[in-house]
Every structure is written in C-alpha cells, then in structure tokens.
C-alpha cells in the first residue's frame, strides 16, 4: 500500500440497526458473535486464499500460505491467530492493494502471528524484485508478531521498509529481528500509531540518505507512541538510528553502531525518555553523534558513550527549544569535531544535570566535555569544564577530576566505576532522583546502596565469577603462519554484572587442524589474569600453517559456559582468470575482481587479499569499492608462491 497520501480508514462494520418510524420499531437480526480463529500455515509459497471469509485458509491448491492466512483473518471478525512454522516465506506477488492479495501483507483486522518450530521463520520482502514493504497495519487494528525475522523490504518510494503502522494502529513485536530493509523513510519501521518492541533487534537496515527524512532505521511520527523494551537498534548504516516526533520510551535498550548523514543515534523533535539504556558507538557527519535534541529528552540511569560527530556535540547536541535532563547518567568517551562540545553541546534550549558523570570526552575545538551553558541540580562529576558555564545548584559537584571508569561492558552497555573512583558515595545524600522519583537501582538493575554513587553505575564489591564472555579479538582472520592483529580478551562478571578482578582465565585453541600458537607458551593454550575491569588479555598469537576456521575457548573456575572466539586462518585470492563465484580462499579458486573478495559474506575488516600479476579494470563508478578495511597485497605469480611482479588497477573504463 502506498503511504505518500493520506487515506481514511477503509472499513466500518455496523452490526445493529434500530429505527423508530411512526411508532414502529424495526430491529435487524443480531450479527453473529465474533469467534477467534486459528490458522496454521503449512506452505512457504506466496499464494492468495481461494475464498477469503469462508473460515478455511486454503489456496487454490489447498495449502495454507502466510498470505492466505492473513487474508482469511482480515475477512473474519475476532482476534485471529496465525501459527507460522520455521522456513523462509518470500513474497512474490506484485501489485498494490489494501487486502493482502498482492504486494505487502496488509492487516485490516486484529491478528496474532506466532512462530512455531526450533528456528525463527523468515518473512522476506524479496527486495528489488517486489519493491514493497513487508507488513502494513493499515488502520485501527491490533497486531502482535512474535519470534520472526522480517527482512528485505524495499519500499524506496514509500514509508516503512519492514513495517508500517498507521495512526490508531497498534503493533507489538516480540523476540523478532528486522534486518536488510530499505525505504524512503524508516528503513525498518515507520509508525504513526502505537508500537511496542520487546526483546527484538533492528539491525543492518541500510540505505543512502534521501532528502525526505534521511531514511532512519525507525521513525516515530506524531501522534505515535513507540516503546522499546530490551530492544537493540544497532549497526544500521547510511540512515542512522531513530527519528522521533511523537513519544519514545527506551527501557533497558540500546541504540548503537549506527551511522548517518543527519542522524547518528537518534534525532528528536518530540518527547523521549531513556531508562537504564545506552546510546553508544554511533556517528554522524553533522552534529549530535549520539543524540540530536530539538524536543524533550530525559535520561535516567543511562549511558552515552563513544559517539562521534564531525561538527558539534559528539555525545549530545541540544538546540532550539530543546530540553535535556540527565539523572544519574554517564556521558563519556564521545568525540566532536571542529564545533566542539565532545560530550554535550548546548546550542540553545535548556540542559540540566544531577548526579551525572560528564567526563573523558574529546573535541577538536573548545569544550572537550561540554560547550555552552549547562544547568546543575548538584552532585555532578565534570571532568573538564573549560568550554562551558555551569549554573544552578553546584552543591556536591566535582570538577576537573577523573571519574576512574572502566570500559563499556554489558548490554545495554554501561561503564563501571573502578575501586577508588571519586564518584563512589558522592551523589545526593537524599538519594538518586530520576524523572519519576527515587532510582533505587542502577542501569544494570543492581541495588543502590548507602549514599548514591554519581553516574549510571553503583559500585558494589565484586562477588565470585558468574559469567565469562568474549570481549575483544573476535571474529578475526589472519593468513597462515601470520600473527593475528588483535589479542583475545575475556570479560568476567559476577552475578549482578560487576567486573571481577584477579581471577585466572584459561584460553585453549584446537589441538589439531587449523589453530594458532600463543607466544608466551609456544602452545595452543595459555592463561591470563583479569584486571580491575574484569578483563583478561591473552598473549599475542600466530596462525598455524593450516587453512580453516576454528574456535578458541576461555574458561574460568566456577563458570560452566565458556567464552568463545571465532577465528580463521585464511587469505583471499584474486587473479585475472578467476571467477567471483568461487570461494576465493585458495590459489586454485580465486576471484576475478578485488570487489568479488570484498563482498564475500565472511570477509572481515582487516582481511588480506592477495592479487596476482595482471591488470584489473571495470565499468560503472569504481573498479574497487573500499568500504571496509583490507590489506591488499599485489604482484603475486599465478600460483601465489612468489611476490615479484605488479598488479595494476586501472580506471580507464570507468564512467566519469
């Protein structure tokens, strides 16, 4: 369904008519009571229902497809349930309508879709073949979708590549994944209704910026209400994270690793509340790497970390009539460019902090931590206030001090206070105050004890090791007999997520086959002791001579489940006589082009590509698109045993 023009609700059902005419009462026969139906999908084909409304989900061939089940549910009264087994359901019927008979899957009734089976079913929009979104909640209907993957929606001239929710509609998304969707605006989701996401992920929904709304991954427009619970919006390139004009609430959620021209983490014109959430590792080519605020944003027990803006406000940019309130939050390790304000840049509007850490940020210009006038309600820790003016209540403020924080860990990410941090017990003696009252727990849910600590984290003496996870060095590849670039790091936490120091971690690679050798032991095993951040860093290591992929495990006493690191001893090969359809991981089966190697699904940033002697040209915009880190090693002979010649990349055939 095209969403570029407004169209009113399509259907009204009138079940009772009572007319009083000249003393006579005419009463219609009561409509039948609506009963909920359950349909079990038994075919992954895309085919329409033979007779919508007859109570039977059946195509002309007698199967129950996903499209047929939705058509049948739309035609019936009641709250119907669709049971969807594992499998890939690719949409193939082109066309535009509002009854799910062609194009996207439209909901015109209350429907529940529940996945069955061991793996999540995949609903595939078929990308540029169909050029449609996947799901459309068309009006005042309530839809619940649980346990699915929604991918490859392609609504480039419309809104919502994965899902569209009209004003008045309600969609609840449970334990689901939206990936690889694209649209004119809202690559994954565009909602003007109520959208609740529980334990779901929106990732790798990528499309270049457009003049409409920078395409953002999730768009919430007025009067929409979007609530994200335990949800991750991450690793979405080109369009950034979230755009909000309505009411947006994040609970225990993260917006991380998104990049865009206008939007990094999120861009707000409405009302946003973050509770126990993290905005991290986002980047933008203008201002506001983590948050750009023109409306009202409130952070409670939340972290803004390692975001980047080319201009101003690496962490947060506040402008217009924007109001920014930070309560027991942590803003660190963010970077701004020539405009300054690495942590927070107040261009205009109001910024107020209490019990908050603002430290360790950087900027090319003035104000590494802050720029502009910042309001204080007391008990803040500001690492460097050289670029800003602090007004209001300064009682309990600590300035120009190091908070002594550990690295970002956990999910949603938080930065622990290290032992001896000046932020410990330095908060408001009356307690940690949030926007809705006392904050009795910190970001990770650990109880606030004694005097409130400043920031999103409450220091607790670490208990015994309860978990171990891979923190660094995975996944990665190295050529056989070559050193790996990044050391293996394992993170050890106790039962409430506090880092555990001074415990021994054992690392073990395979004893045979493709494997590696640690420098300090000259064997496939080693040990390391955790530091104050709970991180154990293994010694440098080198791939053995055998090509292949393998896992290294890390274990700690008292914890059953090990940490796992994914490694590979491999090189990519390119030769004039090759074929990009090859696996390109052996001299006998090289790619024909460098782009062929770069675009392999398991190519990792930093991988090595060996290129045989020859001339490599191409057509289009470029011969080689280097959109990821790579090591190009040219001049190899045809057997890739001797490097003595020259590999030439020429752009003579490229379209200017």
DSSP characters over 583-599: ---STTS-BSSHHHHHT
Task: Output the pLDDT for position 341.
Answer: 97
Q: Are both 449 and 372 inside the same structural domain?
A: yes
Q: Are 327 and 376 spatial neighbours (Cβ–Cβ below 8 Å)?
A: no
Query: What pLDDT is recorded for position 108?
Result: 97
Does residue 515 form part of some domain?
yes
- Are 449 and 479 members of one domain? no
Dihedral angle at the C-alpha atoms of 53, 58, 59, 63, nearest 10 degrees? 160
Q: Which residues contact 601 (CB under 8 A, 6 or more apart)?
A: none
Domain co-membership, 446 together with 476: no
**Mean pLDDT in runs of 10 for the chain (656 residues)?**
40 28 34 71 98 97 98 94 98 93 97 96 95 96 98 91 97 97 92 98 76 71 96 89 96 96 93 98 96 98 98 98 98 97 98 98 95 98 96 97 97 97 97 94 96 97 98 97 98 98 98 98 98 98 97 98 98 96 96 95 96 87 87 96 94 60
Domain contains 195: no
Question: Is residue 565 domain-shared with residue 576, that is, in the same domain?
Answer: no
Which of 417, 443, 460 is the last residue in one of the domains? 460
Domain of 421, in residue numbers: 270-460
3 state DSSP class of 397: coil
Other CB atoms within 10 Å distance of the CB of residue 448: 19
- The answer to the question of residue 382 being in a domain is yes
Specify whether 449 is located in the same domain as 305: yes
Q: Residue 259 and residue 237: Cα distance in Å, rounded?
A: 5
Q: With contact defined as beta carbons under 8 Å apart, do 414 and 329 qualify? A: no
Assess contact for 495 and 463: CB atoms under 8 A.
yes
Q: Do residues 536 and 559 both lie within one domain?
A: yes
Per-residue pLDDT, 18: 29
Q: Which residues contact 521 (CB under 8 A, 6 or more apart)?
A: 539
Instruction: Give the containing element (helix H, strand E) for 127.
Output: helix 127-130
Same structural domain for residues 553 and 583? Answer: no
Same domain, 475 and 442: no
Helix/strand/coil for 129: helix
Residue 177 lies in a domain: no
Locate the DSSP E strands across 75-169.
80-84, 88-90, 105-107, 111-115, 122-124, 135-137, 142-146, 149-151, 154-159, 163-165
The answer to whether 277 and 241 are in contact (CB under 8 A) is no
Report the distance separating Cα 594 and Cα 580, nearest Å.
9
Look at residues 298, 303, 279 and name the one whose alpha carbon lies nearest to residue 289: 279
Between CA 295 and CA 161 the distance in angstroms is: 26
User: What is the CATH classification number for the domain harbouring 509?
Assistant: 2.60.40.10
487 and 514 within one domain: yes
pLDDT at 70: 98
288: Cβ–Cβ under 8 A, 6 or more apart, which residues?
264, 265, 267, 309, 312, 313, 316, 317, 345
The SS3 call for residue 69 is helix
Q: Is residue 308 part of a domain?
A: yes
The pLDDT assigned to 209 comes to: 47
Q: Are residues 453 and 483 in the same domain?
A: no
Separation between Cα atoms, residue 609 and residue 584, nearest integer Å: 10
Backbone CA torsion sign across 576, 580, 582, 586:
positive
Neighbouring-strand partners of residue 262: none
Q: Is residue 391 part of a domain?
A: yes
* DSSP code at position 310: S
- Determine phi and psi for 233, rounding to 5 degrees: -110, 100
Residue 253 lies in a domain: no
pLDDT of 78 reads: 86
Chosen domain end from 460, 478, 509: 460
Instruction: Name 604's bridge partners.
Output: none
- Which residues is 375 bridged to in the sheet? 352, 391
In a domain, 43, yes or no: no
Rg (CA), the chain: 28
Instruction: Determine the distance from the C-alpha atom of residue 438 to the mean position of all C-alpha atoms in its chain, rounded to a whole number.
Output: 30
For residues 378 and 295, state if they share a domain.
yes
HEC letters along 399-446:
ECCCCCECCCECCCCECCECCCCCCCCCCCCCCCEECCEECCECCCCC
Q: How many domains does the chain have?
A: 3
Alpha carbon dihedral 89, 94, 96, 97, in 10-degree steps, equals -60
Structure tokens at 471: 């923190």
**Number of residues assigned to the chain:** 656
Q: Are residues 342 and 489 in the same domain?
A: no
Strand-pairing partners, residue 288, are none
460, 476, 496 — which closes off a domain?
Answer: 460
Alpha carbon distance 487, 485 (integer Å): 7
Check residue 10 and give its pLDDT. Answer: 32
């Amino acid at each position: 369904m095209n969403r570029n023009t407004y169209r009113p609700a399509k259907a009204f059902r009138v079940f009772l008519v009572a007319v009083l005419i000249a003393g006579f009462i005419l009463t219609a026969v009561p409509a039948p009571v609506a009963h909920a139906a359950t349909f079990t999908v038994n075919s992954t084909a895309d085919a329409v229902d033979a007779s919508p409304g007859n109570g039977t989900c059946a195509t002309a061939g007698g199967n129950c497809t996903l499209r047929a089940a939705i058509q049948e549910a739309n035609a019936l009264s009641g709250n119907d349930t669709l049971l969807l087994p594992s499998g890939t359901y690719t949409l193939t019927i082109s066309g535009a309508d509002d009854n799910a008979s062609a194009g996207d899957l439209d909901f015109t009734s209350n429907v529940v879709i529940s996945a069955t089976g061991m793996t999540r079913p995949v609903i595939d929009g078929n990308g540029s073949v169909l050029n449609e979104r996947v799901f459309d909640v068309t009006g005042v209907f309530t839809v619940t979708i649980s346990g699915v993957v929604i991918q490859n929606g392609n609504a480039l001239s419309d809104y919502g590549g994965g899902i569209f929710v009209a004003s008045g509609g309600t969609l609840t998304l449970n334990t689901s994944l939206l990936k690889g969707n694209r649209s004119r605006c809202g690559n994954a989701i565009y909602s003007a209704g109520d959208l609740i996401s529980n334990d779901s992920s929106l990732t790798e929904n990528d499309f270049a910026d457009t003049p409409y709304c920078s395409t953002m991954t999730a768009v919430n427009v007025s009067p929409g209400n979007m609530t994200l619970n335990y949800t991750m919006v991450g690793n979405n390139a080109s369009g950034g994270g979230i755009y909000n004009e309505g009411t947006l609430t994040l609970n225990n959620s993260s917006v991380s690793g998104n990049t865009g021209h206008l939007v990094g983490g999120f861009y707000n014109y409405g009302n946003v509340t973050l509770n126990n959430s993290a905005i991290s590792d986002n980047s933008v080519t203008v201002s506001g790497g983590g948050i750009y605020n023109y409306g009202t944003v409130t952070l409670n027990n939340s972290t803004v970390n390692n975001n980047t803006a080319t201009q101003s406000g690496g962490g947060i940019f506040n402008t217009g009539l924007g109001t920014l309130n930070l309560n027991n939050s942590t803003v660190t390790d963010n970077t701004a460019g020539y405009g300054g304000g690495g942590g927070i840049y107040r261009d205009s509007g109001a910024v107020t902090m209490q019990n908050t850490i603002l430290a360790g940020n950087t900027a090319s210009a003035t104000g590494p931590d802050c720029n502009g006038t910042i309001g204080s309600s007391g008990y803040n820790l500001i690492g460097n206030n050289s670029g800003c003016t602090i007004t209001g209540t300064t009682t309990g403020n600590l300035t120009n001090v190091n908070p002594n924080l550990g690295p970002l860990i956990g999910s949603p990410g938080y930065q622990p206070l290290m032992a001896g941090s000046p932020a410990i017990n330095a908060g408001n003696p009356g307690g940690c105050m949030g926007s809705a009252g006392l904050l009795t727990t910190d970001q990770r849910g650990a109880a606030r004890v004694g005097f409130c600590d400043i920031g999103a984290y409450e220091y607790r003496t670490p208990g015994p090791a309860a978990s171990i996870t891979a923190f660094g060095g995975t996944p990665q590849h190295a050529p056989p007999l070559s050193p790996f670039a990044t050391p293996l790091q394992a993170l050890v936490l106790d039962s409430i997520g506090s880092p555990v120091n001074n415990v021994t971690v054992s690392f073990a690679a395979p004893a045979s086959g493709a494997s590696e050798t640690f420098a300090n032991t000259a064997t496939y095993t080693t040990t390391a002791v955790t530091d104050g951040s709970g991180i154990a860093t293994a010694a440098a290591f080198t791939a053995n001579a055998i090509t292949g992929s393998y896992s290294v495990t890390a274990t700690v006493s008292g914890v059953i489940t090990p940490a796992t690191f994914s490694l590979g001893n491999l090189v990519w090969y390119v030769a004039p006589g090759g074929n990009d359809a090859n696996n390109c991981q052996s001299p006998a089966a090289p790619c024909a082009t460098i782009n062929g190697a770069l675009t392999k699904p398991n190519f990792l940033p930093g991988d090595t590509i060996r290129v045989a002697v020859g001339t490599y040209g191409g057509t289009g915009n470029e011969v080689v698109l280097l959109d990821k880190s790579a090591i190009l090693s040219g001049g190899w002979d045809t057997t890739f045993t001797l490097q003595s010649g020259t590999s030439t990349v020429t752009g003579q055939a490229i379209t200017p």
